[in-house]
Protein backbone atom coordinates (compact mmCIF):
# COMPACT_ATOMS: atom_id res chain seq x y z
CA UNK A 1 0.00 0.00 0.00
CA UNK A 2 1.32 3.41 -0.95
CA UNK A 3 0.13 6.34 1.14
CA UNK A 4 0.43 9.95 -0.02
CA UNK A 5 1.61 12.42 2.63
CA UNK A 6 0.55 15.66 1.02
CA UNK A 7 1.83 18.55 3.13
CA UNK A 8 2.95 17.94 6.72
CA UNK A 9 4.10 21.12 8.41
CA UNK A 10 6.01 22.31 5.35
CA UNK A 11 5.70 25.81 3.94
CA UNK A 12 5.77 26.94 0.33
CA UNK A 13 9.44 27.82 0.44
CA UNK A 14 9.91 24.02 0.47
CA UNK A 15 7.70 23.54 -2.59
CA UNK A 16 5.35 26.01 -4.33
CA UNK A 17 2.72 23.31 -4.91
CA UNK A 18 2.19 22.50 -1.22
CA UNK A 19 -1.56 22.36 -0.52
CA UNK A 20 -2.80 24.43 2.42
CA UNK A 21 -6.54 25.14 2.18
CA UNK A 22 -9.23 22.47 2.31
CA UNK A 23 -9.92 22.87 -1.42
CA UNK A 24 -6.21 22.72 -2.29
CA UNK A 25 -5.72 19.58 -0.20
CA UNK A 26 -8.80 17.97 -1.78
CA UNK A 27 -7.62 18.79 -5.29
CA UNK A 28 -4.13 17.46 -4.57
CA UNK A 29 -5.60 14.35 -2.96
CA UNK A 30 -7.54 13.59 -6.13
CA UNK A 31 -4.39 13.94 -8.24
CA UNK A 32 -2.39 11.71 -5.87
CA UNK A 33 -5.08 9.01 -5.87
CA UNK A 34 -5.32 9.17 -9.67
CA UNK A 35 -1.54 8.66 -9.74
CA UNK A 36 -1.87 5.51 -7.61
CA UNK A 37 -1.98 6.45 -3.91
CA UNK A 38 -4.31 4.25 -1.88
CA UNK A 39 -4.40 6.21 1.38
CA UNK A 40 -3.84 9.81 2.40
CA UNK A 41 -2.05 11.46 5.32
CA UNK A 42 -2.78 15.17 5.66
CA UNK A 43 -2.17 18.10 7.99
CA UNK A 44 -5.17 20.47 7.90
CA UNK A 45 -4.30 24.17 8.05
CA UNK A 46 -6.01 27.19 9.54
CA UNK A 47 -6.61 30.53 7.79
CA UNK A 48 -3.04 31.56 8.69
CA UNK A 49 -1.64 28.56 6.80
CA UNK A 50 -0.40 26.89 10.00
CA UNK A 51 -1.25 23.38 11.15
CA UNK A 52 -4.39 23.10 13.22
CA UNK A 53 -6.42 20.59 15.22
CA UNK A 54 -9.47 22.85 15.59
CA UNK A 55 -12.67 20.89 14.90
CA UNK A 56 -14.10 23.27 12.29
CA UNK A 57 -10.95 23.18 10.16
CA UNK A 58 -10.61 19.42 10.60
CA UNK A 59 -14.22 18.91 9.49
CA UNK A 60 -13.93 21.24 6.50
CA UNK A 61 -10.78 19.53 5.24
CA UNK A 62 -11.98 15.97 5.79
CA UNK A 63 -15.29 16.68 4.08
CA UNK A 64 -13.56 18.27 1.09
CA UNK A 65 -11.12 15.39 0.71
CA UNK A 66 -13.78 12.73 1.07
CA UNK A 67 -15.92 14.43 -1.56
CA UNK A 68 -12.94 14.47 -3.92
CA UNK A 69 -11.83 10.87 -3.31
CA UNK A 70 -14.72 8.89 -1.80
CA UNK A 71 -13.74 5.61 -0.20
CA UNK A 72 -10.04 6.49 0.22
CA UNK A 73 -8.90 6.28 3.86
CA UNK A 74 -7.79 9.65 5.22
CA UNK A 75 -5.46 10.09 8.19
CA UNK A 76 -4.32 13.08 10.23
CA UNK A 77 -1.32 13.95 12.36
CA UNK A 78 -1.61 14.67 16.09
CA UNK A 79 2.01 15.64 16.62
CA UNK A 80 3.17 17.47 19.73
CA UNK A 81 3.96 20.82 18.05
CA UNK A 82 0.57 21.40 16.41
CA UNK A 83 -1.04 24.41 18.18
CA UNK A 84 -1.88 24.72 20.99
CA UNK A 85 0.91 22.19 21.40
CA UNK A 86 1.94 19.66 24.00
CA UNK A 87 -0.70 18.28 26.35
CA UNK A 88 -2.99 21.19 25.43
CA UNK A 89 -3.51 19.83 21.89
CA UNK A 90 -5.64 17.04 23.39
CA UNK A 91 -8.42 19.56 24.06
CA UNK A 92 -9.27 20.30 20.40
CA UNK A 93 -8.83 16.62 19.53
CA UNK A 94 -11.48 15.75 22.12
CA UNK A 95 -13.84 18.22 20.43
CA UNK A 96 -13.58 16.72 16.94
CA UNK A 97 -17.00 16.10 15.45
CA UNK A 98 -15.90 14.84 12.04
CA UNK A 99 -13.46 12.00 12.52
CA UNK A 100 -10.62 10.80 10.29
CA UNK A 101 -10.18 7.14 9.42
CA UNK A 102 -6.94 7.07 11.40
CA UNK A 103 -4.36 9.31 13.03
CA UNK A 104 -0.63 9.03 13.55
CA UNK A 105 0.60 9.26 17.14
CA UNK A 106 4.32 9.42 17.88
CA UNK A 107 5.56 7.27 20.75
CA UNK A 108 8.30 9.80 21.46
CA UNK A 109 5.60 12.14 22.79
CA UNK A 110 4.95 12.11 26.50
CA UNK A 111 1.18 11.69 26.29
CA UNK A 112 1.16 9.11 23.47
CA UNK A 113 -0.49 6.41 25.56
CA UNK A 114 -3.36 8.70 26.59
CA UNK A 115 -3.92 9.98 23.04
CA UNK A 116 -3.88 6.43 21.67
CA UNK A 117 -6.48 5.33 24.23
CA UNK A 118 -8.72 8.29 23.42
CA UNK A 119 -8.50 7.82 19.66
CA UNK A 120 -9.15 4.08 19.83
CA UNK A 121 -12.06 4.76 22.15
CA UNK A 122 -13.67 6.86 19.44
CA UNK A 123 -13.35 4.08 16.87
CA UNK A 124 -10.54 5.73 14.92
CA UNK A 125 -7.45 3.82 13.76
CA UNK A 126 -3.99 4.54 15.13
CA UNK A 127 -0.70 4.56 13.27
CA UNK A 128 1.88 4.16 16.05
CA UNK A 129 4.86 6.29 15.02
CA UNK A 130 8.20 4.79 16.03
CA UNK A 131 11.38 6.84 15.50
CA UNK A 132 13.78 4.74 17.58
CA UNK A 133 14.36 1.52 19.46
CA UNK A 134 13.21 3.21 22.67
CA UNK A 135 9.94 4.19 20.97
CA UNK A 136 9.48 0.59 19.86
CA UNK A 137 10.14 -0.72 23.36
CA UNK A 138 7.58 1.70 24.79
CA UNK A 139 5.03 0.74 22.13
CA UNK A 140 5.19 -3.02 22.61
CA UNK A 141 4.58 -2.51 26.32
CA UNK A 142 1.35 -0.59 25.83
CA UNK A 143 -1.93 -2.20 26.84
CA UNK A 144 -3.52 -1.05 23.56
CA UNK A 145 -0.64 -1.86 21.22
CA UNK A 146 -2.39 -4.75 19.48
CA UNK A 147 -5.50 -2.62 18.87
CA UNK A 148 -3.63 -0.19 16.62
CA UNK A 149 -4.10 -0.09 12.88
CA UNK A 150 -0.41 -0.35 12.03
CA UNK A 151 3.13 0.43 13.08
CA UNK A 152 4.65 3.49 11.41
CA UNK A 153 8.46 3.22 11.28
CA UNK A 154 9.65 6.78 10.68
CA UNK A 155 13.31 7.21 9.84
CA UNK A 156 14.51 10.75 10.43
CA UNK A 157 18.25 10.07 10.15
CA UNK A 158 19.80 11.71 7.12
CA UNK A 159 22.76 9.33 6.97
CA UNK A 160 21.42 6.31 5.10
CA UNK A 161 23.43 3.69 6.98
CA UNK A 162 22.36 5.16 10.31
CA UNK A 163 18.77 5.19 9.14
CA UNK A 164 18.85 1.57 8.05
CA UNK A 165 20.38 0.57 11.40
CA UNK A 166 17.63 2.44 13.22
CA UNK A 167 14.99 0.68 11.12
CA UNK A 168 16.56 -2.72 11.77
CA UNK A 169 16.66 -2.04 15.51
CA UNK A 170 12.98 -1.09 15.60
CA UNK A 171 12.03 -4.19 13.62
CA UNK A 172 14.04 -6.40 15.98
CA UNK A 173 12.06 -5.11 18.97
CA UNK A 174 8.77 -5.70 17.13
CA UNK A 175 9.77 -9.24 16.14
CA UNK A 176 10.81 -10.11 19.67
CA UNK A 177 7.44 -8.90 20.95
CA UNK A 178 5.58 -10.95 18.35
CA UNK A 179 4.12 -7.93 16.56
CA UNK A 180 1.57 -8.92 13.91
CA UNK A 181 0.45 -5.42 12.91
CA UNK A 182 1.12 -4.19 9.38
CA UNK A 183 4.22 -2.00 9.04
CA UNK A 184 4.50 1.21 7.05
CA UNK A 185 8.06 2.49 6.78
CA UNK A 186 9.24 5.79 5.32
CA UNK A 187 12.17 8.18 5.35
CA UNK A 188 12.66 11.93 5.35
CA UNK A 189 14.44 14.13 2.79
CA UNK A 190 17.81 12.46 2.08
CA UNK A 191 16.53 9.07 3.27
CA UNK A 192 13.18 9.10 1.41
CA UNK A 193 14.11 6.95 -1.56
CA UNK A 194 16.59 4.60 0.15
CA UNK A 195 14.08 3.85 2.92
CA UNK A 196 11.27 3.49 0.38
CA UNK A 197 13.37 0.91 -1.49
CA UNK A 198 14.06 -0.91 1.78
CA UNK A 199 10.35 -0.93 2.62
CA UNK A 200 9.52 -2.40 -0.79
CA UNK A 201 12.25 -5.06 -0.43
CA UNK A 202 10.77 -6.13 2.91
CA UNK A 203 7.16 -6.13 1.73
CA UNK A 204 6.15 -3.23 3.96
CA UNK A 205 3.73 -0.45 3.12
CA UNK A 206 5.25 2.98 2.56
CA UNK A 207 4.40 6.60 1.90
CA UNK A 208 5.64 9.32 -0.40
CA UNK A 209 4.80 13.02 -0.66
CA UNK A 210 5.86 16.57 -0.04
CA UNK A 211 5.69 16.12 3.74
CA UNK A 212 8.74 13.87 3.48
CA UNK A 213 10.64 15.21 0.48
CA UNK A 214 10.43 17.26 -2.70
CA UNK A 215 12.88 15.38 -4.93
CA UNK A 216 12.39 12.58 -7.42
CA UNK A 217 14.76 9.58 -7.39
CA UNK A 218 16.73 11.37 -10.13
CA UNK A 219 17.40 14.27 -7.77
CA UNK A 220 15.22 16.63 -9.77
CA UNK A 221 12.52 18.67 -8.08
CA UNK A 222 9.12 16.97 -8.33
CA UNK A 223 6.23 18.86 -9.88
CA UNK A 224 4.09 17.92 -6.91
CA UNK A 225 2.66 15.03 -4.92
CA UNK A 226 1.25 13.16 -7.91
CA UNK A 227 4.67 13.28 -9.58
CA UNK A 228 6.23 11.71 -6.48
CA UNK A 229 3.57 8.97 -6.34
CA UNK A 230 4.13 8.09 -9.99
CA UNK A 231 7.88 7.92 -9.42
CA UNK A 232 7.43 5.61 -6.44
CA UNK A 233 5.21 3.22 -8.35
CA UNK A 234 7.57 3.31 -11.31
CA UNK A 235 10.37 2.05 -9.07
CA UNK A 236 8.24 -0.91 -8.00
CA UNK A 237 7.36 -1.84 -11.58
CA UNK A 238 10.96 -1.98 -12.81
CA distance 96 to 53: 8
pLDDT value of position 89: 97
- Give, as one character, the DSSP assignment of residue 87: G
**Cβ–Cβ under 8 Å, residues 178 and 198:** no
> In terms of residues, how long is the chain?
238
Task: Evaluate the CA torsion angle 228, 229, 232, 234 in order and state its sign.
Answer: negative
> Tens of pLDDT along the chain (238 residues)?
999 999 999 999 999 999 999 999 999 999 999 999 999 999 999 999 999 999 999 999 999 999 999 999 999 999 999 999 999 999 999 999 999 999 999 999 999 999 999 999 999 999 999 999 999 999 999 999 999 999 999 999 999 999 999 999 999 999 999 999 999 999 999 999 999 999 999 999 999 999 999 999 999 999 999 999 999 999 988 7
pLDDT value of position 237: 80
pLDDT value of position 61: 98
Task: Evaluate the CA torsion angle 224, 13, 78, 112 in order and state its sign.
Answer: positive
Structural domain boundaries in the chain? 2-237
CA distance 227 to 225: 5
CATH architecture of structural domain 2-237: Alpha-Beta Barrel (3.20)
Instruction: Collapse the DSSP code of 99 into the 3-class scheme (helix H, G, I; strand E, B; otherwise coil) and give the result.
Output: coil
- Give, as one character, the DSSP assignment of residue 189: G
pLDDT value of position 238: 75
Instruction: Collapse the DSSP code of 179 into the 3-class scheme (helix H, G, I; strand E, B; otherwise coil) and give the result.
Output: coil
pLDDT value of position 70: 98
CA distance 238 to 233: 9
Cis geometry, peptide bond prior to residue 30 (ω within 30 degrees of 0) = no
Q: Would the pTM count as exceeding 0.85?
A: yes
Give all strands (DSSP E) within 136-187, no chain letters: 150-154, 183-186
Amino acid sequence: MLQACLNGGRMRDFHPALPFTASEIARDAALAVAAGARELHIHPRGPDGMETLEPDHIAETLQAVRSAVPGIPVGLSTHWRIPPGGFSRQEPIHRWTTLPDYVSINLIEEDAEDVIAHILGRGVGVEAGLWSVSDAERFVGLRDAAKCLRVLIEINEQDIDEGLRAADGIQAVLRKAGNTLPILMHGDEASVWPIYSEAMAKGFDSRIGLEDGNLLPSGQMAEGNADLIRAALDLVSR
